Structure 1
């Protein structure tokens, strides 16, 4: 598959939708973001791998007030591997209710399904230290 400009735009829109749905608490709409068999890897935060939309929803509910009040995604980069795997890498900024801010890198594998593009795999990596060449 060769990614068209429309495909890349659709992937950008998909990644942007994540923050809107999460911040609005629309957790029953996770199927608009994620494939049925999604693996959401939050191992770096001590939560391991979440499998499926329901597990993502339950993890967000369990966090309760510790969820960010704002998920902001920037610097989205979409590439297609030689084997056809489509990857998106983006930066996330989370604003917490106490005013603190966190930064992450999202490493996604996305695929086109009957309903449109969906995230099949997401690894969330915290950014806790500045660049040190």
Structure 2
């Protein structure tokens, strides 16, 4: 799917909202950003991969995550069907005060409720 300008704005909003929900510990709202069958891969930070919204909420509720998440430099590419691929950069403030730079590789699917993340993989750069 080739995203329109409106799609690009909504996709960016969903990816940004995810950071706010994680930082504000509003895990009950993650369905506003993720599909029910989403795949989450934070193995680069020692977390087990998770499939499904409930499993992802469990992983994101565990100790050891960054205290603040900031995502920038969104590059949205065509995907199959009603999907797009997004590569973005991220900065995270860790509990010890250090900052980590990452690359997020996301797949988003257009659903009846709008754009939702179906796959989220984190790479350290």
Aligned residue number for residue 36 of structure 1: 36
**Higher RCO structure (Cα 8 Å, ≥6 apart):** 2
CA drift of 1:47 comes to 2.5
CA RMSD of aligned residues (A): 1.4
Runs (4+) off by over 4 Å: none
Q: How far does residue 69 in structure 1 lie from its aligned partner after superposition?
A: 1.6
Q: Return the alpha-carbon distance in structure 2 between the equivalents of residues 24 and 45 of structure 1.
A: 20
Instruction: Give the CA deviation at 1:67.
Output: 2.2
Cα distance in 1 for residues equivalent to 2:45 and 2:97: 20
Shift of 1:123: 0.7
Paired residues of 2:74 and 2:89 also in contact (CA < 8 A): yes
Give the corresponding residue for 2:61: 61
Q: CA deviation at 1:98?
A: 2.3
Task: State the distance in 2 between where 1:110 and 1:39 align.
Answer: 11
* Alpha-carbon distance between aligned partners in 2 of 1:31 and 1:122, rounded to the nearest angstrom: 14
| Equivalence map 1:3-42=2 (5 Å) | 3-42=3-42
What residue is the counterpart of 1:47 in the other structure? 47
Matched positions, count: 124
Secondary structure in structure 2 of the residue aligned to 1:62:
coil
Distance (whole Å) between structure 1 residues aligned to residue 74 and residue 116 of structure 2: 15
Aligned equivalent of 1:88: 86
Question: Structure 1 stretches of 5 or more lacking a match?
Answer: 128-133
Unaligned runs of 5+ in 2: none
Take 1:52 and 1:103, find their aligned partners in 2: how far apart are those partners? 26
Aligned equivalents of 1:42 and 1:4: distance in 2? 30
**CA-CA distance at 1:56 after TM superposition:** 1.6
Higher Rg: 1
TM-score scaled by length of structure 1: 0.86
